[in-house]
Structures are given as C-alpha cells and as structure tokens.
Amino acid sequence: MNRRTGYRLFIMFLLFVFLIGCSSQPASDQGADENGNAGKSGQDAAEEKPVRGGELVMGYSADASSFDPILGNAGSDHVLLYPVYDTLIRFDSDLQPQPGLAKSWEIEDEKTIVLHLQEGVVFHDGTSFDAEAVKFNLERANSEESRVSDLKNLESVEVVNPHTVKLHLKQPDSSIILALSDRTGMMVSPTAVKKYGKDYAQHPVGTGPFKLVSYQRNNEIRYEAFEDYWQEGLPYLDKLTVKIMPDENTRINALKSGQIDLSFPMSPANLASLEKDPSLVVNSHPEVAYHKIYLNTTKPPFDNKKVRQALNYAIDREALVKAVSFGRAEPSYQPFPKGYWAHDPSITIPYDPEKAKQLLKEAGVGKVSFVMPYFPSGSYERLAQAIRGQLEKVGIEVQLQPMELTKGVSEFFQEKRHPAYLSRWTGRPDPQQTVSLIFSKDGYYNTGGQSTPELEELIKKAAATYEQNERAKLYGEMARIGILEEAMHIPLLTEPATAVMTKKVKGYEPNLLGKPNVSFLWIQK
C-alpha cells in the first residue's frame, strides 16, 4: 500500500469515528439524549419503566486491587470502579465507542485528537470537571507512577478552552479512543489527589453516579447516589452495596436466601440448576476474556522456549471445555475469541502429547516441575486440577498453590515471584491495548519481557493502522509469533460472562468486554 492510499483509508476512518463521536447514542447500557446523557434501553426499558429508589446488593468475586484507576492491576477492578468514575469515552455492547464525559470528538489529523467535554459536570467533592481536569488526569495516567500504558503515544495535552482539549500524539495510534473508555479515561478529582497524595486510593473521588461511603477490604463496599450527578434522573438506586464473596457457592446461597440481589461472575458449572430456578434470571453473554497460564519467561523452566511450546501441545483444550465448562465455553488458541473481528480462525493448537514429550526431550532440562498459583473459586479449582492431570501425562509436575486473587496478581505481576500463574485475561476495549500489554517487551502483563523485533514492529504497525481488516491481519501475525512460536503464555478457553439475579433486578445489560456497569440498574418493587 502506498502512502497516498494509506492516508485515504485513514481519512475514511476519521470520518467513521467522527460520526460515532457526534452521534446521539452513548453506551448501550444506558441509551442517551442528544447530549450523550444516559437513559435505559433494551428489553427492560421497552417493557418496564425504571423505578427510583432502593438499594441493590451485589455479590462479587474479588475485591479491588486499588480504587485509584492508574494503580490497579486486576481486570476485575472495573465493575467496582464504574460506580465512582465516569470515563471520557464509553462503549456499546459490541465495544464501539460512544460519548461519555467527552460528548463528541474529532480527529484533526493522524496525530491530533480533539475532545469536546460535557458541561456542568462536577466531581463528588465539588471540583469542576473541565479541560484542566482532563489534562491533569491524562498526564497523571501517563506518568511514571502509573501502571497504565495505554497512552504511551501521547505527547502532550493542550487545553483549548474550558470544555475542549486537544491530544497531540507522537505517532498515529488506533487504540486511543477506546483506551479512553478504560482506566485511562476514568476521571479522578485533581483536588482529591493533591489533598490525599499517596493515600488517594483510600479516598476515591470521581464524577460517577455513586460516591464511595464505606469500604471494608475483602468484605463490603457501600456506595450512595451522588445527588449532583450530571445525567439528569440517574442513578435510579439510592444505594449500591457490594459484598466480596470469592466462593461461588456462598454467592449462590446468598442469592437464594435473599441476602444479595445479583451475583457476578458465575461459572458454567452451576448454570443448569440456576436456570431451572423460577425466582432467578441468568444472563450469559460472550466476552473477549479468556483463561490462560501466564508465564514468566525469565524463570526456569520457562526460560526455555521448547518447554513453553511443550505446554501448548500438552493441553487438551476440548477436554477442558467439556470437563470444566460443561460445553459452555470455547477452546482458546489466541488472544481474541471466535466471532470477534480481531480473531484469526486459521490459528489452532492441536492436542499432541507426543509432540510435547519430544519438545521436552529437545529442551534437555530433565524433570520439569513448577509452582502455579491460582484463584481457588468456581471453575478455577477444576481447571487447575485438570491442567495438572494433563501435564502429568507428558512428564511435567505442577505444584498448585491456591491464592487470593489480588495477592496472586500482586505476587506474579509486580513482585514476579512465580514462574506461572493460572488466571484470566479480562480483555480490553480495543485489541491494540491487549497486544501491547501481553506481547510488547514493556507490557505490564508480559511478566518476563519476552518479545521479538518482529513482534515489536507488528505492534507499532498495528497502532498506526486504522482499517479494520488490515488490523485483524496484523493481530493474527502477532498471535502466530507470540503464541505458536514463542509460547509467551498458554491460552486455554473462553467462557461467557454470566450474571445471575433475582427477578426484581431490572436494566442489566451485558457487553463484549464482560465487565458490566451495574450503576444504572433499578429494583422493581
């Protein structure tokens, strides 16, 4: 493709994004008016009028790793952060960008993005949300203290006027818009950050529909409706309480006894019985997340590529789907699930234990044994045991180590104590975010910093590519190198995101990210 043709494609993309940004449809979990203000849409909205007031109690599998968006490191955080923090951009159920705190946007050229902000918005502490606040947040997200790397191509933030900011990029980056719907786009109060400093996470202040009023770590989080919320008539609930319940059976019992109104996430193992309960509603939806074995390629035995490759062939993914997910999942061979536009259907990994044994022999490392922490709840326990059994058949010993989720994430990704970690990649709104985080040598979730010059070049090329089919081809090439050749991590399977709720809970709308925003639910009295 010559430069002129590429630029024409880029201009077409700009027009597409501009039309989306100026549309009157925000995230599908809310619907909208002409200013991007959220209302309800979907079947519930069509059949039942939202009811104001009351409290919803949710049972959730994990606590937040941090209530400071730029310091958290667990994908499960988002559900707990959404009530407190609005994002600059939202997305609909299919991960298409929609207006948020930025009511519209435009791209002046391939390295300049202009955001037009909602007016009359205030943070929970009374601080005005304006262009200066956006500049503060984006520069903070891009600082050395941040664990967020989505804005690495951001060169500077220019305040044009109180309600307009201009983003200047070092190079074109196709992921920036949807990155602003993630942690990067969660707006925190500059006043609160300056007041509390390093203790800000204990005093989170956003522009979201709820204020956090009490927090008992690993126990309970209480939110109360923000009276000055910028979207008129929202939220519907007066209070939202989240009970941290890692054990799924505990959540099921709490749901059936009326202690909680909604439980998320739920594994496939319990769905058959729950679907038969006339008092409950089961909502399952595809998501971009997938279960995998993270590897630290600097630690034995995974500093040997052939050992890593052997794991890929020693895993019988079809058997895992049947045994662990009771057929309600899909095998995973790459970072993107079947049906998603970035998925490459030509990439598969056959179950071949003989090839795994041959690779181990070629590795010349003798007996292979490693410790693998995992979160012992729901399907993870069955998954861990099944993996250990499969790897034993090719001569690999796995020492399973049950570990609370936030502790496991911290020990593996920050402290880098372990050679492997069984967990889940929870996905990102834009596939470019995913490949940058898991394949780039500087990616936070690429614990060992394993990469190749070709991978790095592909990541850079994809960032500067805006045509979707071309992007998909590049992501397929990355998957072949990162998974099939380098075996940087071991993909296992992808399950649907499932919530179970009582019939009085209304307005629940899932999305492809698999991280629901429960802020705009209501209770049918």
Mean pLDDT of 287-302: 97
- pLDDT, the chain, mean: 91
**Of 6-10, 106-110, 152-156, 399-403, which range is least confident?**
6-10
Q: What stretch of H or E contains 460?
A: helix 453-463
Confidence of residue 68 (pLDDT cuts 50, 70, 90): very high
The predicted pLDDT at position 433 comes to 93
**Of 1-15, 90-104, 226-240, 269-283, which range is least confident?**
1-15
- In Å, the largest CA–CA distance within the chain is 67
% residues pLDDT > 70 (the chain): 91
Residue type, 334: Q
The predicted pLDDT at position 2 comes to 40
Confidence of residue 397 (pLDDT cuts 50, 70, 90): very high
Nearest Cα neighbor of 140 from 68, 79, 87, 73 is: 68
Give Cα 371 distance to the centre of its chain.
26
How many residues in the chain?
Answer: 525
| pLDDT for residue 372 is more than 90 | yes
| pLDDT for residue 32 is more than 50 | no
| pLDDT for residue 5 is more than 70 | no
Sign of the dihedral through C-alpha 216, 220, 226, 231: positive
Nearest Cα neighbor of 116 from 131, 127, 129, 135 is: 131
| pLDDT for residue 442 is more than 60 | yes
Q: What is d(CA 482, CA 478) in angstroms, rounded to the nearest whole number?
A: 6
Residue with tokens 């061979």: 333
The predicted pLDDT at position 376 comes to 87
| pLDDT for residue 27 is more than 50 | no
The predicted pLDDT at position 4 comes to 39
Domain ranges of the chain: 3-204+497-523, 290-494
Number of neighbouring beta carbons within 10 Å of residue 39: 16
Mean pLDDT of 205-234: 97
Tokens of 44: 């519930």
Looking at the domain covering 3-204+497-523, what would its CATH class be?
Answer: alpha beta
The CATH number given to 290-494 is 3.10.105.10
Q: Identify the three-state secondary structure at position 433.
A: helix
Q: CB of 514 within 8 A of CB of 427?
A: yes
Confidence of residue 366 (pLDDT cuts 50, 70, 90): confident
Sign of the dihedral through C-alpha 236, 241, 247, 251: negative
Q: Tell how many helices (H) and how many strands (E) occur in the chain.
A: 16, 21
Tokens of 375: 């979160």
The predicted pLDDT at position 116 comes to 98
3-204+497-523 and 290-494 agree in CATH topology: no
Q: CB of 500 within 8 A of CB of 262?
A: yes
Mean pLDDT of 195-224: 97
The predicted pLDDT at position 48 comes to 79
The predicted pLDDT at position 191 comes to 98
| pLDDT for residue 488 is more than 60 | yes
The predicted pLDDT at position 332 comes to 98
Q: What is the pLDDT of residues 467-487, one digit of tens each?
A: 999 999 999 999 999 999 999
Q: What is d(CA 409, CA 401) in angstroms, rounded to the nearest whole number?
A: 13
Q: What is the pLDDT of residues 328-360, one digit of tens each?
A: 999 999 999 999 999 999 999 999 999 999 999
pTM value surpassing 0.75: yes
Q: CB of 197 within 8 A of CB of 489?
A: no
Distances (CA, A) of 11 to 8, 341, 462: 5, 21, 16
Listed in sequence order, the residues at least 6 apart from 234 whose beta carbon sits closer than 8 Å to its beta carbon are: 30, 37, 38, 39, 209, 519, 520
DSSP letters of 142-200? TSTT----TTTTEEEEEEEETTEEEEEESS--TTHHHHTTSGGGB---HHHHHHHGGGG
DSSP letters of 361-414? HHHT--SEEEEEEE--STHHHHHHHHHHHHHHTTTEEEEEEE--HHHHHIIIII
Distances (CA, A) of 82 to 182, 383, 460, 518: 10, 29, 30, 8
How many degrees, rounded to 5, is the angle at CA 235 between CA 232 and CA 239? 145
Q: What is the pLDDT of residues 377-387, one digit of tens each?
A: 767 889 999 99
% residues pLDDT > 90 (the chain): 85
The predicted pLDDT at position 47 comes to 57
Q: What is the pLDDT of residues 218-227, one digit of tens each?
A: 999 999 999 9
